[in-house]
Amino acid sequence: MTVHYNRLTKEPYLRLPTPLSNIIITPHRLENIDETATALAEILNDPRVYPWLEGPPYPYQHEDGVKWIEAKCKENEDVLSTLRRYLEQREGMSNSKSAAVVSKQDREFIDTCPFTCIREVLEEDAASGAPLKDRLIGDMTLARYTFYEHPHDSEERSEAQRRNNELPTGDENIIWALGDFLAPSHHGKGIMSLAIRTLIHEWGIPHMNVRHLRCCAFQGNEGSLKVFERNNFERGVTLKDWVPVSESRGGGRKSIVLMTWRGA
Ligand X SMILES: CC(C)(COP(=O)(O)OP(=O)(O)OC[C@H]1O[C@@H](n2cnc3c(N)ncnc32)[C@H](O)[C@@H]1OP(=O)(O)O)[C@@H](O)C(=O)NCCC(=O)NCCS
Binding site for ligand X (CB under 6 A): 49, 52-53, 180-182, 187-193, 217, 221-224, 226-227, 230
Shorter beta-carbon distance to ligand X: residue 55 or 77: 55
- Write phi, then psi, for 241 (nearest 5 degrees): 45, 55
Smallest gap, in angstroms, from Cβ of residue 99 to ligand X?
25
Shorter beta-carbon distance to ligand X: residue 50 or 203: 50
Shorter beta-carbon distance to ligand X: residue 100 or 217: 217
CA distances from 256 to 27, 83, 181, 236, 247 (A): 29, 37, 17, 10, 18
Shorter beta-carbon distance to ligand X: residue 6 or 224: 224
DSSP string for residues in 198-232:
HIIIIIIHHHH---EEEEEEETT-HHHHHHHHHTT
Q: Give the 3-state secondary structure of residue 47.
A: coil
Smallest gap, in angstroms, from Cβ of residue 188 to ligand X?
5
Shorter beta-carbon distance to ligand X: residue 5 or 261: 261
Smallest gap, in angstroms, from Cβ of residue 85 to ligand X?
33
In this structure, are residues 244 and 253 in contact, taking their beta carbons and an 8 Å threshold?
yes
Q: Give the 3-state secondary structure of residue 107.
A: coil
- Write phi, then psi, for 86 (nearest 5 degrees): -65, -45
Smallest gap, in angstroms, from Cβ of residue 232 to ligand X?
13
Position with the least CB separation from ligand X: 223
Smallest gap, in angstroms, from Cβ of residue 78 to ligand X?
29
